[in-house]
Amino acid sequence: MNRQRGGFFSGIVVMLVILLLSATALLAVATLRERNIVKAESLLRSGDFYGAAELFVKAEKYSLRPESRVIRGLAEANLGMEDYEAATQYYEKLVTLESDNVDARYKLGLLYIRAKDYGAAEKEVEALRGIGTENATQRADALTENLSSGKVKGFFRDLLKKVAPGLPEIPGITEDGPIEPETGETSEDPLSEDKQEGTNIFQSVPDSGDAVTE
C-alpha cells in the first residue's frame, strides 16, 4: 500500500516538474518573440525593411498561431522591399485576422490594381464601404479612383508594349511607382499659413506693459 502511495506521489511530482518546465519554455519563447517584434518594429520605422523582415520572420516562427502584429509587420516590410507578391499574401492574411483593418484593405486593393486583378480590387472597395466609417469611405473613394485610372493605364501600357516592345521601363508611364509602406513615423507638421499668420499677429501686438505711441 505504501509503495502504491509512493509511486502515485512520485508520478504527481514528475507531472508538476514537466508542467513547470513547459511553462518556463513557453515564457522564454514568448519573451524572445516579443523582443524580435519590438526590434523589428524599430527597424521598420527607420526604413530598414530587410532587417525588419528578417526579425519578423523569426517572430513568426516563435508564434503558436498567426499574430496580427507580426503579419502586419511582414506586410509592411515586404511592401518597403517592393516584393509586392509577398506583401499581397501577408495583407490577405491580415484582413482575414482583422476584417475591419481599413489601411490593410486599402493597400491590398492597390496591390491588386498593380497586379491587374481588378475584380479583387473591387471587392476591397466593397469591403471598405461595408466597414462604414468615415475613414473607410474615404479610402473606398480613393481606391475607386485608383481602380479607374489603373484600368486605363493598364490598357495603354499593354498597347504600348505591343507597339514598342523594346521600350525601357519608365516609372509612372510604363510601370507604376512604388507603394509606400506605413512605417509609423510621424513628422512635426510646420505651422499652416493661418497659424503662421496668427502667430505674426500676436507677435505684432504690444505687451500690456508697453506704451503705444501715435
Query: Across the chain, which distance is largest between two alpha carbons, in Å?
Result: 112
Compute CA 42 distance to the chain's CA centroid, rounded to the nearest angstrom.
Answer: 13
Region of residue 184 (phi > 0: left; psi between -120 and 50: alpha; otherwise: beta)? left
Give the dihedral sign, CA 117/119/123/129: positive
Q: Domains along the chain?
A: 17-182 (1.25.40.10)
The percent of residues above 70 in pLDDT, for the chain, comes to 60
Instruction: Provide the whole-model pTM.
Output: 0.68
Helix axes 102-114, 84-97, angle to 10 degrees: 150
pLDDT in tens, 125-142: 999 999 999 999 999 999
Q: How high is the pLDDT of residue 81?
A: 96
Residue 165, helix vs strand vs coil: coil
Give the dihedral sign, CA 32/38/44/47: negative
Region of residue 191 (phi > 0: left; psi between -120 and 50: alpha; otherwise: beta)? beta
Confidence of residue 115 (pLDDT cuts 50, 70, 90): very high
Q: What is the mean pLDDT of residues 22-49?
A: 80
